[in-house]
Amino acid sequence: MQPIFEVRNLKRAFGGLAVTNDVSLSMAPGDRVALIGPNGAGKTTFVNLVTGNLKPDSGEVRIGGEAVTGVDAIGRVRRGLVRSFQVTRLFADMTPAEHVALAVLQRSGRAGRLFGNFLGMPDVMAEVEELLGKLGLKELMHRKVSEIAYGQQRLLEIAVALALKPRVLLLDEPAAGVPQSDTGRIEQALADLPADLAVLMIEHDMDLVFRFAKRVVVLAAGAIIFDGSPSDVTKDPRVREAYLGSYANASHAA
């Protein structure tokens, strides 16, 4: 199948230190890929390079076959590459309905309209109610975000991303900071993601990785050291070394 998302030989160095070192990755529609790696592996830099928040020294990023390396972050979102944030970035004074409506309006080119209100736009409201309903947030749709629980805010992050109708979704630790009791709802939301959507999830929680991903990519010291099935990842000697190394350092520092 034609890849929907491709990264070719991506390189980026900071002061001589190669933080992303010749990374190549390809995803097809419907792929469920987990990107893992020890702390300092270069995951955040990789995400910033892919989303257009950082320019690579060399290499190429493609969305739907189109090279977007020279396209800024906003342009990449408009081409279907959408991300969620590790720490929720929501508008505290706005409601879940407003968040999703803003995303829907932006996607449909109506966010710049000077008159009218989304509450009076049946198509926008239908989509807002459907998305928030699916994620169990409909009851809270008119509450301020600062008044809803953190787990629900994480779900709203997913709702906003989905409202943009992405082709490639980058989920940055979608369950980070959520109490154990609430992770089930988030896992359900991940399981219910559209089947044709390519999803790249950056995650530390290995249980979640194994339940969600059909493919695992391991990043260490800026390079991909493993790209394969979840069942093989723990057996791979390089992966074990990368993780054990970081554990050894951590215990030494402690």
- Give the binding site for other proteins (CB under 8 A): 51, 73-74, 77-78, 82-83, 85, 89-95, 98, 101-103, 105-107, 110-120, 142-144, 160, 164
Which three-class secondary structure state does DSSP give residue 199?
Answer: strand
Nearer to other proteins, 28 or 73 (CB): 73
Tokens 């194994």 belong to 210
Q: How far apart are CA 172 and CA 71, in angstroms?
A: 21
Cβ closest to other proteins, residue 88 vs residue 246: 88
The residue (of 160 and 224) whose beta carbon lies closer to other proteins is 160
Q: How far is the CB of 114 from other proteins (least distance, A)?
A: 5
Q: How far is the CB of 79 from other proteins (least distance, A)?
A: 9
Q: How far is the CB of 57 from other proteins (least distance, A)?
A: 23
Least Å distance, CB 156 to other proteins, is 12
The alpha helices in the chain, defined as continuous H runs, are 43-51, 73-78, 96-107, 122-134, 150-163, 183-191, 206-212, 230-233, 237-253
Give the nearer residue to other proteins in terms of CB position, either 126 or 248: 126
What six digits make up the tokens of 199?
Answer: 């999803």
Residue 178 has, within 13 A of its CA and on its CB side, a CA count of: 26
In the bound state with other proteins, the residue whose beta carbon lies nearer, of 44 and 106, is: 106
Rounded Cα distance between 76 and 52, Å, is 7
How many angstroms separate the CA atoms of 135 and 162, rounded?
Answer: 11
Q: Return the number of the residue (45 or 216) whose C-beta is nearest other proteins.
A: 45
83 has which bridge partners? 170
- Could you tell me the smallest distance in angstroms from the CB atom of residue 127 to other proteins? 14
Centre a 10 Å sphere on the Cβ of residue 156 and count the other Cβ atoms it contains. Answer: 25
Q: Are 138 and 83 in contact (CB under 8 A)?
A: no
Least Cβ distance, residue 236 to other proteins (angstroms): 33
